[in-house]
Amino acid sequence: MAASSPSSQSQSQSSLVSPTPTAAAAAPPVPAPTVTKHVKISGRVQGVSYRASMQWVAQSKGVAGWVRNCADGSVEAVVQGDDAAVAAVLAWARDGPRCASVDGVAVLRDQVGQGEAFRTFSIRDDDEW
């Protein structure tokens, strides 16, 4: 069996040493601040699949929270996520699904980085808080 040369030993040892991480790889990504908006949507928004459509849009944008029908015929929702995703859901809410006729979207509460944290977007019962 042939003896290994010093240069081959240093090559095999250097392949075992992991490269030093760069500054960009070492720093963890900074999460976007969580935005929470509590909104009330008025108009013809019940009986037109508004809640199911909003749930689908919110989930596709990575937004958490909930939506429910109100006794006065409006729809109430809490949307939570990064600012751009929440803005996209609220932009959709101003039009709603095809059969809806949205008169307005009023922001009842606007919070950044505080309050209850939601993990999914759900449809709540009409009387559930």
Of the candidates 44, 51, 94, 98, the residue annotated as catalytic is 51
- The counts of H helices and E strands in the chain are 4, 5
Cα separation, 64 vs 119, in Å, equals 6
Of the candidates 69, 94, 98, 124, the residue annotated as catalytic is 69
Catalytic residue list contains 124: no
For 55: left if phi > 0, alpha if psi spans -120 to 50, otherwise beta; the answer is alpha
Active site residues: 51, 69
